[in-house]
Amino acid sequence: MKSVLLVCSIFPPQIGGPSTYAENLVNFLLSKNIKTGVITYTKDSFEIKAKNKDFSLSTISRNIPLILRELVYLIKLLAMASQYEVLYAQSTIPVGFLAFVVSRIFRKKFILRVTGDHAFERASDKTNFVDSLEDFQNKKYNWWIEQLKKLDHFVAKKADQIITPSRYLQNILVGWGLALKKINLVYNAFIEIRSEGKIELSGEVILSVGRLIPLKGFDCLIKIMPDLLKINPSFKLVIVGEGGERKHLEKLIRENNLQSQIILTGALTKQELVAYYTASDIFVLNSSHDTFPNVILEAMAYSLPVIASNVGGVPEMVEDGVSGLLFSSGNKGEIKKAILRVHKDSILRERLIYGAKEKLKDFDYDKIMERTLEVLS
């Protein structure tokens, strides 16, 4: 294989796991002298100029109305695709569907990366949505969600090969009717990022990171803070991320008079986030659904003991009592118990940090990128 076009929804300077993954892959492909291109949406109305002139970058503004935006994306994708052997789409909808259409026109190899269930994520953005991803596979929902389900499955079935970052999600894809032999388990790789500066946070800092959406369970962490503060008044909760739940979380903080004990930072760059990792003492992730949260690897790398909900692909990253502590999602009692165990037991804390460092070896950057290259080839 001599050339790859990454068909993305997000790419730096936009932040997020998929953006970081795409940037790391581009750098790896270029190091192997593979011609690389990227097409992506951008929040800005202008095109981002590629810092590295060795790869082509084409962008589509998210400010364009939806239907016109997808049409512009398709036109630009058509203009680029003929120059590449492989189209590697980073999600099913909409970019995976567009990549499929173009791959058939030009008879190109179509590889798809599936990191979640797009239809489920759309449905779970609603505050009253409580179903698990497993339940979601078999239950019926409104017409729009059912159409998204069908389109998700259609695009996945049309891919020549699929890359997915967890066994948990691999099993979900088999349930979609895909052959196991074309679903390639390739974990996300971790690459350490240096902080651009340091921050000073007083007290014992509990850090949580993610989009401010219901399934991340940040409201639960806020609600347990009064009980934790009775035991250790120096606890401070820092929540990094942005999203539709922000106003709800701010209200909870005010109602519990926790303005001086809880910080909502908003969205941060990777470099800014590293400063918070290094300034914190405990990492907690209370998701009700997660296929492979990169933030766990990041917390492990920066020597934070990890406490996480036992859902989705998390147990593939965190072995309970060895590389972290697991709890039932949303169980306030279990979360408080886990936090206090790490707070009180320095030997346990150091053992978990050591176990996490050992676990990180499973996510070695070079090995995982080489495995990705095998699938793309």
| Domain spans, the chain | 3-191+364-376, 204-362
Q: Name the pTM for this structure.
A: 0.90
Give the number of C-alpha atoms closer than 13 A to the C-alpha of residue 73, restricted to the C-beta side: 30
Determine phi and psi for 178, rounding to 5 degrees: -90, 145
> What is the structure's pLDDT at 162?
98
Q: Label residue 8 exposed, middle or buried (CB < 10 Å: 0-12, 13-18, 19+).
A: buried
Query: What pLDDT does 269 receive?
Result: 86
For 3-191+364-376, CATH number out of 1.20.140.10, 3.10.20.600, 3.40.50.2000, 1.10.10.10 equals 3.40.50.2000
DSSP of 330-371, one letter per residue? T-HHHHHHHHHHHHH-HHHHHHHHHHHHHHGGGGBHHHHHHH
Those residues with Cβ within 8 angstroms of residue 187's Cβ, 6 or more apart along the chain or in another chain: 165, 166, 292, 316, 362, 363, 368
Residue 38 has what pLDDT? 96
- The answer to whether the Cα torsion of 361, 366, 369, 371 is positive or negative is negative
Instruction: Note the pLDDT of residue 45.
Output: 44
Q: If residue 103 lies in a helix (H) or strand (E), which one and from where to where?
A: helix 95-106
The gap between the terminal CA atoms of the chain, to the nearest Å, is 5
Please name the amino acid found at residue 277: Y
pLDDT at residue 47 in the model: 46
Among 5, 184, 200, 206, smallest CA distance to 87 is for: 5
What CATH number is given for 204-362 in this structure?
A: 3.40.50.2000
pLDDT at 122: 85
Name beta bridge partners: 211.
Answer: none
Tens place of pLDDT per residue across the chain (377 aa): 899 999 999 998 887 788 889 999 999 999 999 999 999 999 764 445 445 557 999 999 999 999 999 999 999 999 999 999 999 999 999 999 999 999 999 999 999 999 999 999 888 876 567 788 999 999 999 999 999 999 999 999 999 999 999 999 999 999 999 999 999 999 998 888 777 678 889 999 999 999 898 889 999 999 999 999 999 999 999 999 998 899 999 999 999 999 999 999 999 988 899 999 999 999 999 999 899 999 999 999 999 999 999 999 999 999 999 999 999 999 999 999 999 999 999 999 999 999 999 999 999 999 999 999 999 99
Cα distances (angstroms) measured from residue 105 to each of 100, 102, 230? 9, 5, 64
Please give the C-alpha separations between residue 204 and each of 237, 250, 279, 339, in angstroms, as whole numbers.
Answer: 9, 21, 9, 11
* Fold agreement between 3-191+364-376 and 204-362: yes
Largest CA distance in the chain: 64
- Looking at residue 292, what is its pLDDT? 92
